[in-house]
Amino acid sequence: MSRKPVPAQSGERSRAEVTFDRPELLPQLFGEYDTNLVAIENRLGVYITARGNRVQLEGTAESVALARDVLNGLHTRLLQGQDVDPGMVDAVIALASEPTLDGIIRADRTAPPPIMIRTRRKTIVPRTMMQTHYMRELVSSDMIFALGPAGTGKTYLAVAQAVAQLISGSVQRLILSRPAVEAGERLGFLPGDMKEKVDPYLRPIYDALYDCMPPEQVERRIASGEIEIAPIAFMRGRTLADAFVILDEAQNTTPAQMKMFLTRFGQNSRMVICGDPKQVDLPGGMGASGLNDAVGRLEGIEGIAMVRFSAADVVRHPIVGRIVEAYEGAEA
């Protein structure tokens, strides 16, 4: 493989060679039509030439060192059985570019992140620095507020951690909730029983569950009561003990609803409150967002963690991050 050199950053030119001892993994490492190598070239400003199981790198000393670490990091993940897709390439580049993050980039910068979530269907590793911080809080804090735009993994990682704890037996049930508030629309009367009426609002939670656990197990655990998915109104009057509790779209609660939900917290439980303070869909007249109110009241209280994501943490298609940045810039 040989391509036109990518202009490198200013600085002293450097060269390095990386040799891989598992050539059968190289097609996945390089990507179809070498798309992964092209992405590394474009992001880091290096020139990459691959011949057999050897990869030659050329660019500034810093960019060559980063590219070497990224390639070794991706290769390590392939050895661990993880998939390498464009999102993973972007994530490893971002992680390798932050040498000050304790536990992610160590003296051996090719080492994988030290934290992961194992579920029945996949092993999930952090894709941004803030996701790493969030995943640590998910196993250490009793109550976590995950704040930030869509696509940052707030709800998905919380559901994955909840599934992992249910499988391990550290909690007895999962309780997943969100307010039944329409996103700026008026859907009118919905036919069917109560489950059929509220399921459309809860579909993102189902999607995350099915991604972490075989569908038949999800349905069986829902039927047995181990997994409960319900609107926030169904939480009133309960004490949620021995449970992993997730509230999604929390920005669409009222302060009264949020207070009610937070005070359901019981023994041996963990509660995660996910939401985007900038995407409030409460109808006029319902007052301020319960999420914003709670963050203002509870910031700094022992046992309660606040994790704030930004557009840089969006792990969907890269254009989503750019869209979020454009809207946030206009609002600012």
Instruction: Mark whether 167 and 82 lie in a shared domain.
Output: no
Structure tokens, 77? 């993940």
pLDDT of the residue at 121: 77
Report the CATH number that the domain containing residue 76 is assigned in CATH. Answer: 3.30.1370.10
- Global pTM reads 0.71
Do 204 and 179 touch, CB atoms closer than 8 A? Answer: no
Question: Is 180 domain-assigned?
Answer: yes
Is 103 a member of any domain?
no
| Whole-number pLDDT of residue 192 | 60
* 127: nearest Cα among 88, 85, 166: 88
Burial zone of 245 (CB within 10 Å; 0-12 exposed, 13-18 middle, 19+ buried): buried
H helical segments located in the chain: 26-30, 35-44, 61-79, 86-96, 129-140, 154-168, 194-212, 215-224, 255-262, 290-298, 318-331
Domain ranges, residue 84: 13-96
Same-domain check for residues 69 and 176: no
Q: Are residues 83 and 124 in the same domain?
A: no
CA distance 75 to 241: 42
Kindly state whether residues 74 and 179 are assigned to the same domain: no
Q: What local confidence, expressed as pLDDT, does residue 112 receive?
A: 46
Would you state the pLDDT for residue 165? Answer: 92
Domains in the chain: how many in total?
2
C-beta of residue 148 within 8 angstroms of C-beta of residue 154: yes
What distances in angstroms separate CA 97 from CA 20, 37, 70, 215, one per listed residue? 22, 17, 9, 38
Written as one letter, the residue type at 221 is: R
Residue with tokens 């181990």: 226
Is residue 73 located within the same domain as residue 144?
no
Residue 112 lies in a domain: no
Instruction: Return the pLDDT at 311.
Output: 84
CATH code for the domain in which residue 208 is found: 3.40.50.300
Residue 294 lies in a domain: yes
Contacts of 60 (CB under 8 A, 6+ apart): 8, 9, 10, 11, 12, 13, 14, 45
Q: How far is Cα 52 from Cα 16, in angstroms, rounded to an integer?
A: 16
Measured CA to CA in angstroms, residue 287 lies from 177, 254, 282, 293 at distances of 21, 7, 8, 11
- Domain assignment of residue 81, yes or no: yes
91 and 155 assigned to the same domain = no
295 backbone dihedrals φ, ψ, rounded to 5°: -60, -40
Give the residue from 296, 308, 304 showing the smallest Cα distance to 272. Answer: 304
Residue 109 placed within a domain: no
| Same-domain check for residues 214 and 260 | yes
User: Mean pLDDT of successive 10-residue segments in the chain (332 residues)?
Assistant: 48 84 88 89 88 89 88 85 79 66 39 66 81 92 94 92 92 90 49 61 83 90 91 86 94 93 94 93 77 94 94 75 73 60
